[in-house]
Structure 1
């Protein structure tokens, strides 16, 4: 109970600090076939502005596109239009998920796959802060190759592996006992994926990914993976939150030239002091407000944006 109270207090203080982003200069979009894409709602409007502005300030290229989760108000859209160069805003209600699940950010992934036909698309979560230069991301854009944030430090340096090899490497003792998180349930079943050795997988994080312009993965590939995944874990479990992240990582792992970002620079915050060379921080929900790190990093970047 006490821990929840402190977390709520840190969240309140973070949102107050993030409000200062409204005093920073607007993004000036560029016409260079690069899109920074996010799904957001009214609750994360201010953190999202910190996320997208801190990234765009380092890239200095690209335009913004948004998928409205259904909660953005007209006032929110006016703020976004002013600060982000009048971005395209699509409604989640207009996304046809086909044979993939509804919800669980599948609408985001499918929209992204549509956008990548003509543009290099960067998927950016609202709970992120870019805290330094991002040469690996700029190199990916320049070379038109996909990238992904890794899920944890254990994956760094491993890269994408054929599905049977991934299972043997990640789960040498087999599946853990008890009811498994959906991501673990899918991953431990990959050896049974149809023609498993012909496909690869990387344990990535869909909070920050780059999909190369005109790349090979689109809706047909996403639907094929979804149907196969449903067969692995069952229809009911396939609707759980987390299947989209596995799908995103699977699609990226099977793209030629995809490069995982080095974890020492691009990392998830797990309530530990980030590497001094950190360039990008993803404040995952588990520890987003465990400390004041999210607020401190947001405040620092807003101050730079105002300079």
Structure 2
């Protein structure tokens, strides 16, 4: 109970501090076939502005596109238009998910795959802060190859492996006992995926990914993976939150030249002090407000944007 109260207090302080992002200069979009894309709602408007502005300030390229989760207000849209160069905002209810689940950010992935036909698309979560230069991201954009944030330090340096090799490396003792998180449930079944040895996988995080312009993965590949995944874990479990992240990682892992970002620089915050050379921080929900780190990092970047 006390921990929950403290987290709520840190969240309130963070949102209050983040209001200063409204005093920073607006993004000036560029016409260079690069899109920074996010799915957001009214609750994360201010953190999202910190996320997108802190990244764009390092890249200095790209235009903004948004998928409205259904909660953006007229006032929110006015703020976004003012600060992000009048971005395209698509309503989530207009997204046809085809043979993929509805919800669980599948609409975001499928929209992204549509956009990549003509543009390099960066998927950016609202709970992220870019805190330094991002040369690996710029190199991926310039070379038109995809990238992904990886899920944890255990994956660092391993790269995308054939599915049977991934299972042997990640789960040498087999599937853990008990009820498994959907990501683990899918991954431990990858040995049974059709033509498993002919497909690859890296345990990525869809909070920050880059999809190369005109890349090989589109809606047909996403739907094929969704259908196969539902067979592996059952149709009911396939509707759980988390299947989209596995799908994103699977699609990216099977693209030539895909770069897993080095974890020391691009990482998820697990309530541990980030590496001194950190460039990008993803404040995952588990520990987003465990400390004041998210608020302090956001405030630092807002101050740089205002300078």
What TM-score bracket applies, with the shorter chain setting the length? over 0.9
Map of 2:57 onto structure 1: 57
Q: Secondary structure at the match of 1:109?
A: helix
Tell me the equivalent position of 2:129. Answer: 129
Q: Which residue of 2 aligns with 1:152?
A: 152
- Which residue of structure 1 lines up, in the alignment, with residue 80 of structure 2? 80
> In the alignment, what sits opposite 1:259?
259
1:1-307 alignment runs, 5 A limit:
1-307=1-307
In structure 1, C-alpha distance between the alignment counterparts of 2:130 and 2:289, rounded to whole Å: 18
Aligned to 2:281, the other structure's residue is in SS state: strand
Any stretches of 5+ residues in structure 1 without a counterpart?
Answer: none
- Deviation of the 1:304 alpha carbon: 0.2
How many residue pairs get aligned? The number is 307
Counterpart Cα distance in 2 of 1:211 and 1:73: 29
SS of match in other structure, 1:96: coil
Alignment RMSD (CA, Å): 0.2
Q: Which runs of 5+ in 2 are unaligned?
A: none
CA deviations on 1:214-236 (whole Å, 9 max, x unpaired) are 00000000000000000000000
Provide the rounded CA distance (Å) in 1 between the counterparts of 2:222 and 2:208. 18
- The separation in 2 between residues aligned to 1:25 and 1:157, in whole angstroms, is 38
3-state secondary structure, aligned to 1:264: coil
CA distance in 1, matches of 2:113, 2:62: 17
Secondary structure at the aligned position of 1:65 is classed as strand
Distance 2:98 2:74 in 1: 29
Deviations 1:81-140 (A, max 9, x none): 000000000000000000000000000000000000000000000000000000000000
Instruction: Work out the CA distance in 1 between the residues paired with 2:194 and 2:26.
Output: 48
String of CA shifts for 1:157-194, please: whole Å, max 9, x gaps.
00000000000000000000000000000000000000
CA shift, 1:287, in A, is 0.1
Q: Which runs of 4+ in 1 moved over 4 A?
A: none
Displacement after TM superposition at 1:265 (Å) = 0.1
Q: Distance in 2 between matches of 1:195 and 1:30?
A: 42
